[in-house]
Amino acid sequence: MTRFIIRALIAALGLWLASEIVPGIEVRSWGSLLAAAVLLGIVNAVVRPVVFLLTLPLTLVTLGLFLLVVNAAMLGLVGLLLKGFVVDGLWAGILGSVVVGVVSWLGHLFLGDGRERT
């Protein structure tokens, strides 16, 4: 449970940073930011694997670049489901997903992934 909370806080930091630097992404309150982070984690755990499998041929043809569109779609889905979080268009979603991905990667790089190494 602690790992989930830490991952959600890292995602919230990424979403906040994306809302600050990417035009077209807007977070209306801190509560919406935290709800968007938790909902993004749930969407990435449930919906994204299905979408990934359905778009696998296109992802292979584009050498993985289509995953940017898949990630943007997951961010857009969170925007559709949550009133206080807005993603305005595909490019805002792509740039926002890149920002959130980089922040998540850096957060996990510094905090570790929770697994012990032997």
Residue pLDDT, tens place only, 37-92: 999 999 999 999 999 999 999 999 999 999 999 999 999 999 999 999 999 999 99
Considering just the CA atoms, what is the radius of gyration of the chain in Å?
Answer: 14
For residue 91, how many C-alpha atoms fall within 13 Å in the half-sphere facing its CB?
3
Residue 88: what residue type? D
Asked whether residue 117 is domain-assigned, the answer is no
**What's the average model confidence in pLDDT over 11-35?**
94
Asked whether residue 85 is domain-assigned, the answer is yes
* Six-digit token string for 110: 């510094």
Asked whether residue 116 is domain-assigned, the answer is no
The pTM is what? 0.86
Distance CA 45, CA 68 (A): 17
Asked whether residue 118 is domain-assigned, the answer is no
Which SS3 state, helix, strand or coil, does residue 49 take?
Answer: helix
Asked whether residue 84 is domain-assigned, the answer is yes
Asked whether residue 105 is domain-assigned, the answer is yes
19 is in which domain, residue-wise? 2-111
Distance CA 116, CA 94 (A): 33
Residue 96 has pLDDT above 70, yes or no: yes
Tally the domains of the chain.
1
Residue 95 has pLDDT above 80, yes or no: yes
